[in-house]
C-alpha cells in the first residue's frame, strides 16, 4: 500500500500554473509513450467497492531509477474507480482529466490522450527527488479525489514493461472502440442539446469545443454521451449543455445555440461555427486534435494526417508538426481543421464540403486505420504517400483515377455541386486564353498597322526610330491622362 497524501510530501510542486509546461529533449530524463514507444491511459469503473484498494499504486516494469537517462520507454496508466454516483459513461470523462491533473505536476509533461499519450520527465524533477513513477501515481490519485469528489475509491496500475503494455493496449483498443461505437446510431437532429468542453481553454483560451452525437470531440476522448454524463455529475466543471436553438444550416451544421456559445466561450472572438464544414466557419482547434486536415488549393481537395503517423511528409511538403502548428491554438483557421478519429465515421463528416468526395490524400497508416469508414466508391481514389510525393504527382494521380475533384464535387447529401472541378476550370481558362490571343505583330500585314508620323511618340501603331513599326497592345488597360500637350513640329 502506498503512502497516503497526508504521509507523503512530494518532491515536486503541484499547481495548475504548470499546465502547458514543456520538457524539451535536452532537459529530459526519460520519455514515456510518444511516437516511439507504446502507451495508453485508461479508467475503468468497478461496481464492487471492495475490489479496489483505495490509494494503491502498483508498477509493472522498470521504475525511473532503473531507466537510462535520455531513454524511451513504454507506459500505461490504468485507474480503477468506484463511486455510488459513477456510471460507465463517466470512465472516459475521468480518463480525460488524467491529462489535466498530471499537467499540474512540475517537471512532468503529459500530452495527448488514450493510446497516443506522450510523457516526458525532466532532469530537474529527478534532481529534486522524483525517483519513482509511484510518486506520480499517488499525486494523480490525490488530485482525482480532491477535484472529483464523486470518486470514492481509486487505485492505479502503471506499466512500463513494453510487452505487457502492448498486450494490454490490444484489449484497451477494444474498450475505446466499444465506447466510440455507442454514439453511431444517434444523430444531431435526435437531441435537443449539445455539450461544450472548456478543459483546454487553459492553454487555448478562445477554443470552443462543441461535442455532438455526429461530432466527437477533436481530442477523441469525449463523446456526446460522455459529455452529458460529465455535465450531470460535475455541473461546475468544464462540460455544460448547449441548447441547440434553431438550425440555420442543416448541412453545414450551424445552430443559433452553438453560435451563442461560440461568442460566449471565445470572448467574442468568433460568432459562428459550422460543425460539419471544413472551409466555412470551421470548428476551432486547441492542440489536442487526433487528426489534422489541410486544404490543398491546387486540387481543391483535402488531406489528412494523424498524430503519431509514421509518415514524415504530406504532398504539401509539410510534416504533421508544421500542420499542427497551423491548426491549433484555439483558432478558427480556414483551410485547416482538427478532428477526432471517430469523426471519419460520422455520416455528417465535412458534409458541407462534399464529405469523402473531397478527400484526396491520407497518410497510409491513417487510411488503413479508418478503412471501414471510407465509402467503397472512394477507397481507391484517395492517395497516400505511397502513391504521390508532391502536388504535381497528386494532380496526375487524381486525373488518372478520375477523382471527383477533377471534374467537380457533387454533394451526396443534397446533390448540390460544391466545386466546378480544377481540371475543368483549367481547360476552360486555357481555351479562353487561346481565343483571346492576338496574332503576333509579325503576322499582321504592315498595311493594317496604323502609322503615325515618324517620331510622333508612343501609342498604338507607333513607329520606332528606325522606321520599323512596333505594335503596343494594351489589354484591359485603364488609362487616365492628366494633361495632353500638342505641339506643332516645325518643318526644316
Question: Contact positions toward ligand SF4, by CB under 6 A?
Answer: 96, 197, 199-200, 209, 217-219, 221-222, 286, 288
CB of 476 to ligand SF4, least distance (A): 50
CB of 79 to ligand SF4, least distance (A): 17
Strands 108-111 and 75-82: unpaired
CB of 210 to ligand SF4, least distance (A): 9
CB of 172 to ligand SF4, least distance (A): 19
Closer to ligand SF4 by CB, 153 or 331: give it: 331
Closer to ligand SF4 by CB, 96 or 331: give it: 96
Closer to ligand SF4 by CB, 153 or 179: give it: 179
Residue whose C-alpha cell reads 512530494 in the numeric block = 10
DSSP letter for each residue of 346-407: -TTTTGGGTGGGGEEEE-HHHHHHTGGGS-GGGTTTSB-TTT-SSHHHHHHHHHHTT-HHHH
Dihedrals φ, ψ of 196, to 5°? -95, 155
> Which strand ranges, in their side-by-side order, compose the sheet holding 39-45?
39-45, 75-82, 153-159, 57-60
Cross-strand pairs, 339 = 291
CB of 257 to ligand SF4, least distance (A): 17
Closer to ligand SF4 by CB, 242 or 299: give it: 242
- Interatomic CA distance for residues 45 and 41, integer angstroms: 14
* Nearest alpha carbon to residue 377 among 346, 409, 353, 348: 409
Closer to ligand SF4 by CB, 114 or 403: give it: 114
Gyration radius from the chain CA atoms: 30
CB of 85 to ligand SF4, least distance (A): 21
Closer to ligand SF4 by CB, 111 or 133: give it: 111
CB of 219 to ligand SF4, least distance (A): 3
Going from the C-alpha of 484 to that of each of 183, 332, 460, 481, 487, the distances in angstroms are 76, 53, 16, 7, 10
Closer to ligand SF4 by CB, 10 or 345: give it: 345
DSSP code for 410 = B
The helix/strand/coil state of 291 is strand
Number of H helices, E strands in the chain: 11, 17
Amino acid at each position: 500500500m502506498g503512502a497516503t497524501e497526508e504521509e507523503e510530501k512530494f518532491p515536486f510542486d503541484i499547481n495548475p500554473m504548470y499546465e502547458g509546461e514543456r520538457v524539451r529533449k535536452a532537459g529530459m530524463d526519460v520519455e514515456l509513450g510518444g511516437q516511439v514507444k507504446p502507451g495508453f491511459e485508461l479508467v475503468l469503473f468497478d461496481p464492487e467497492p471492495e475490489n479496489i484498494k483505495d490509494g494503491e499504486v502498483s508498477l509493472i516494469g522498470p521504475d525511473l531509477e532503473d531507466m537510462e537517462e535520455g531513454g524511451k520507454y513504454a507506459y500505461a496508466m490504468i485507474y480503477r474507480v468506484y463511486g455510488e454516483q459513477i456510471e460507465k459513461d463517466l470512465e472516459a470523462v475521468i480518463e480525460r482529466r488524467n491529462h489535466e491533473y498530471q499537467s499540474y505536476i512540475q517537471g512532468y509533461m503529459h500530452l495527448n490522450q488514450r493510446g497516443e499519450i506522450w510523457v516526458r520527465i525532466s532532469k530537474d524533477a529527478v534532481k529534486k527527488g522524483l525517483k519513482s513513477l509511484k510518486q506520480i501515481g499517488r499525486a494523480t490519485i490525490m488530485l482525482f479525489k480532491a477535484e472529483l469528489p464523486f470518486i470514492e475509491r481509486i487505485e492505479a496500475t502503471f506499466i512500463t514493461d513494453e510487452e505487457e503494455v502492448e498486450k494490454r493496449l490490444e484489449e484497451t483498443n477494444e474498450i475505446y472502440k466499444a465506447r466510440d461505437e455507442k454514439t453511431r446510431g444517434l444523430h444531431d437532429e435526435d437531441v435537443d442539446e449539445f455539450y461544450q468542453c472548456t478543459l483546454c481553454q487553459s492553454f487555448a483560451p478562445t477554443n470552443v469545443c462543441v461535442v455532438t452525437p455526429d461530432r466527437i470531440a477533436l481530442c477523441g476522448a469525449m463523446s456526446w454521451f460522455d459529455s452529458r454524463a460529465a455535465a450531470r455529475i460535475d455541473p461546475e466543471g468544464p462540460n455544460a449543455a448547449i441548447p441547440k436553438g434553431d438550425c440555420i444550416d442543416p448541412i453545414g451544421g450551424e445552430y443559433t445555440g452553438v453560435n451563442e456559445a461560440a461568442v460566449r466561450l471565445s470572448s467574442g472572438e468568433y460568432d459562428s461555427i459550422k460543425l460539419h464544414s471544413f472551409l466555412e466557419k470551421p470548428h476551432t482547434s486547441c492542440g489536442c486534435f487526433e487528426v489534422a486536415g489541410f486544404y490543398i488549393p491546387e486540387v481543391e481537395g483535402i488531406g489528412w494526417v494523424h498524430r503519431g503517423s509514421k509518415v514524415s511528409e504530406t504532398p504539401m511538403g509539410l510534416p504533421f508538426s508544421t500542420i499542427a502548428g497551423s491548426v491549433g491554438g484555439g483558432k478558427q483557421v480556414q483551410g485547416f481543421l482538427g478532428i477526432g478519429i471517430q469523426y471519419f465515421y460520422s455520416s455528417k463528416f465535412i458534409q458541407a464540403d462534399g464529405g469523402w468526395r473531397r478527400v484526396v490524400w491520407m497518410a497510409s497508416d491513417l487510411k488503413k486505420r479508418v478503412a471501414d469508414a471510407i465509402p467503397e466508391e472512394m477507397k481507391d481514389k484517395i492517395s497516400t504517400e505511397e502513391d504521390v510525393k508532391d502536388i504535381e504527382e497528386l494532380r496526375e494521380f487524381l486525373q488518372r483515377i478520375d477523382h471527383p475533384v477533377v471534374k467537380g464535387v457533387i454533394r451526396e447529401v443534397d446533390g448540390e455541386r460544391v466545386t466546378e472541378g480544377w481540371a475543368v476550370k483549367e481547360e476552360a481558362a486555357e481555351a479562353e486564353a487561346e481565343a483571346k490571343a492576338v496574332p503576333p505583330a509579325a503576322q499582321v500585314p504592315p498595311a493594317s498597322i496604323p502609322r503615325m508620323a515618324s517620331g510622333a511618340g508612343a501609342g498604338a501603331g507607333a513607329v520606332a526610330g528606325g522606321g520599323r513599326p512596333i505594335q503596343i497592345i494594351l489589354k484591359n488597360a485603364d488609362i487616365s491622362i492628366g494633361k495632353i500637350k500638342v505641339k506643332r513640329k516645325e518643318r526644316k
